[in-house]
Structure 1
């Protein structure tokens, strides 16, 4: 005989919400760890390739200097240079993704840059695609490298247009401010709280499934046919944004489209104008001490410098270069040294050059920045940071800037 009863109702909606947030955070951490591992591997390979490209560039510069005017071989050498430049661009994208290359950041107006980039893609719009900009008429200042941020915006817009190529649609580009709270489930506990500038790019294209969405920031991953993309576009976006202290989020649904949100730390103040590059000039017999553990880099680079009018002595060992400075520092006008060398590295060579009576200016070259920023290099006594692969014109420019 049942004398009575009661019913218990438990609201598990909050528990489900917490569990879902935990799952999203775990997925994000796993994805970031996978990207970090891929980036480390790619960066190591890119380092070796950049050394090779440095002396490939040097040999083409040497050959171009030896060719007579209107030589029938000149167009072929130009094609070779173009191929090396394309390889250097690809390696640069890999290094940017792995955050092993850093360029000087400046305060820049994200709004102006977005408008300029939108004008570039406007001319290639299909009649079936409508582009809508929502960019307020006030400065949206961020601290980043203008060239890199331009690549971010251009890649996001290009990807969106390609997603709508078959069916047409609408592309919305929006800028707004947002304050992220600590522990926001979209970015995780480790991402700094604070005010951010947000670039939002939304398309109504084909969309992506979850498996694709999980891999879009991996280098060389692409869903495009062979020959229609190298899979570095979104990897480059990820590397630039995270290297600038921000993050990029993506969401998508098959048949509905995609939205990418780029968060960059907000900066107050006016954007800076880019400085004009210094003109190139001959060496006029000035003496340069060149140091690199790659013999071919030393050999070809010294030939380039000599063709500019510099007198060069080179070493493949940091310790030998320091010994030379101890004995004959007064015979030199500048030092060009690689950063990463066995036993004695470029920063130690730079320190030796800066304590000698002439306080020789030092140019630090590297196949990748290896965590050192231009500001950190200058704090260590380095006058200029020159990234490989460099050209004859790059050497001429930085040496003229220091010695003119």
Structure 2
């Protein structure tokens, strides 16, 4: 206070206790620091924005989107972190939220990293009220790993479905093979019987030769179906691939449309290889089918080449398991659209396909790759978009001579023994009676397994050989054989089957059965098998 002399006579002080305020400020600060620490340690990306502009972000958000400092984001549009194709939808969400309209709080979109890469992200956004006004806090979860797991799970489910389809196809193929081989056996058998009665150079003989050739192709086709469904064992033999390739090309010409121009370059001096003839046919069919699909819309040129090639160690760098030397190379080229570079390394994966539904299972190239690898060879591919594709299957050549595919006039062995023949297919049984009788045998035919067993029990020594089918009503062939062997242990028996996944040659011989054969049997096959089982030294004396 001041007196009249303007000099202060005393001082008045107002003191206020602000301990609580300071304590509150300290608590607020501590809470803010605690909250900041929680936000910074959170594995979920958290960002703050207002009216579509970034205000702040935590460390997880920066790492997720490839930024180092918050300053790179502050004051800039949040759309900078959203993939371009998702921005219109995100912009609409921001506008609705700004205008307090109802909008979904949680959604999936694609984020955009600083380096330009896109990735799937789950966003959960909500409005919070700050001292300077309302703002939007968004939580970001990277879905990359989750989406990859979903894709892998979907892929596994697809593969499982395809495997189940293949199993069903295999079961169906087995049933078809059994019935078809029985029918085919009768066709081939009667054709061969008729062929023996014709003058060698007659037109009828030539026509029957074609029937027998077609029947043999059908037999190989059944074998191929069973091999495709993994229900038939393959047999690798030395062979000359040129004749198989030429024969397959003949079949292709009749099955492909005229818009596909087939050109071939087959070296007749191609070296022999160790392979299964049916699988070589399968390789070419699969590769040519792929080539056809690549040119189906516009047509084009299909080029098939077979040649010898000598590869050096440097040229085999990608196949270190192979030794330098002579190889046989089968090439199939098309003038289609080519293969995209990003999928080229997946084309040999099982079930991978770019074809529309109904045009492929994704197994064709995988099967070719598997066959080539099992033969000690490899398959490679050259492709350019818009210029076509070439597949090359390279297999090791053999030094020894291959089995010739040319017909021989070797005589068919005959005999005079007594045979009990059992098959529930009457047509096949009668054909076999005729064929075996013309080979010199005395044949008793039964079409019922129980009837056959009764016939045998009445006179076990009346037969020198029993030939029985496997799949029959009442009693299977192998059960019938076991019962007969109990009556006469040294009885020679041949078991035949159109198809069965329950028996094999090893299982059959383990029961004491001496011979095993898959239908359809040609006249020469059955004649040779009979002599082999009977073990006669005088075979040549019986030859026609």
Name the CA distance, whole Å, in 2 between partners of 1:82 and 1:336: 26
The one of 193, 207, 211 equivalent to 2:355 is 211
CA contact 1:39–1:98 (8 Å) conserved in 2: yes
Specify whether residues 350 and 153 from structure 1 end up closer, same or farther in structure 2 by C-alpha distance, changes over 3 A only.
Answer: same
Name the CA distance, whole Å, in 2 between partners of 1:362 and 1:92: 24
Shift of 1:300: 0.8
Name the CA distance, whole Å, in 1 between partners of 2:478 and 2:512: 8
Residue 413 of structure 2 is aligned to residue 281 of structure 1: yes
In structure 2, what is the equivalent of residue 325 of structure 1? Answer: 456
Specify whether residues 342 and 93 from structure 1 end up closer, same or farther in structure 2 by C-alpha distance, changes over 3 A only.
Answer: same
Name the CA distance, whole Å, in 2 between partners of 1:6 and 1:87: 71
Residue 522 of structure 2 is aligned to residue 366 of structure 1: no
Cα deviations across residues 35-68 of structure 1 (Å, max 9, x unaligned)?
Answer: 3323433432332222111111122122223334
Q: Name structure 1 gaps, 5 residues minimum.
A: 132-139, 179-198, 220-233, 263-270
Higher RCO (Cα < 8 Å, 6 or more apart): 1
More displaced 10-residue stretch of structure 1: 394-403 or 273-282: 273-282
Shift of 1:261: 12
In structure 1, what is the equivalent of residue 421 of structure 2? Answer: 290
Name the CA distance, whole Å, in 1 between partners of 2:357 and 2:331: 16
Shift of 1:373: 2.4
CA contact 2:223–2:278 (8 Å) conserved in 1: no
Shift of 1:161: 6.7
- Structural mapping, 1:118-129, within 5 Å: none
Name the CA distance, whole Å, in 1 between partners of 2:215 and 2:164: 32
Residue 522 of structure 2 is aligned to residue 391 of structure 1: yes
Shift of 1:203: 6.5
The one of 338, 341, 355 equivalent to 2:472 is 341
Name the CA distance, whole Å, in 2 between partners of 1:89 and 1:79: 15
Name the CA distance, whole Å, in 2 between partners of 1:176 and 1:81: 42
- Structural mapping, 1:205-354, within 5 Å: 206=336, 207=338, 210-212=354-356, 215-217=359-361, 234=364, 237=367, 255=386, 280-283=412-415, 285-354=416-485
Q: Name structure 2 gaps, 5 residues minimum.
A: 1-47, 50-54, 65-141, 250-260, 267-272, 310-315, 322-328, 340-352, 394-398, 537-544
Q: TM-score scaled by structure 1? A: 0.64
CA contact 1:350–1:362 (8 Å) conserved in 2: yes
Cα deviations across residues 270-329 of structure 1 (Å, max 9, x unaligned)?
Answer: x9999999974111x111111111111111101101110111111111122222333322
The one of 300, 303, 326 equivalent to 1:166 is 300
Shift of 1:380: 3.0
Residue 38 of structure 2 is aligned to residue 38 of structure 1: no
Residue 544 of structure 2 is aligned to residue 400 of structure 1: no
Cα deviations across residues 70-129 of structure 1 (Å, max 9, x unaligned)?
Answer: 4443223223333333333333333333344335x56x8xxx98xx7599869x9x9x99
Specify whether residues 13 and 218 from structure 1 end up closer, same or farther in structure 2 by C-alpha distance, changes over 3 A only.
Answer: closer
Name the CA distance, whole Å, in 1 between partners of 2:265 and 2:365: 26
Specify whether residues 117 and 212 from structure 1 end up closer, same or farther in structure 2 by C-alpha distance, changes over 3 A only.
Answer: farther
In structure 1, what is the equivalent of residue 58 of structure 2? Answer: 6
Specify whether residues 217 and 23 from structure 1 end up closer, same or farther in structure 2 by C-alpha distance, changes over 3 A only.
Answer: closer
Shift of 1:370: 2.8
Specify whether residues 260 and 322 from structure 1 end up closer, same or farther in structure 2 by C-alpha distance, changes over 3 A only.
Answer: farther
Shift of 1:130: 11
Name the CA distance, whole Å, in 2 between partners of 1:375 and 1:273: 29
In structure 1, what is the equivalent of residue 87 of structure 2? Answer: none
Between structure 1 and structure 2, the one with the greater Rg is 2
Cα deviations across residues 361-396 of structure 1 (Å, max 9, x unaligned)?
Answer: 221111123342222222233322212222211110
* RMSD between superposed Cα atoms in Å: 5.1
More displaced 10-residue stretch of structure 1: 301-310 or 4-13: 4-13
CA contact 2:333–2:391 (8 Å) conserved in 1: no
In structure 2, what is the equivalent of residue 96 of structure 1? Answer: 227
In structure 2, what is the equivalent of residue 28 of structure 1? Answer: 159
The one of 181, 188, 195 equivalent to 1:50 is 181
Cα deviations across residues 114-171 of structure 1 (Å, max 9, x unaligned)?
Answer: xx7599869x9x9x9999xxxxxxxx99xxx733443444445555776689368999
Residue 276 of structure 2 is aligned to residue 146 of structure 1: yes
More displaced 10-residue stretch of structure 1: 162-171 or 301-310: 162-171
Secondary structure (helix, strand or coil) at the match of 2:300 reads coil
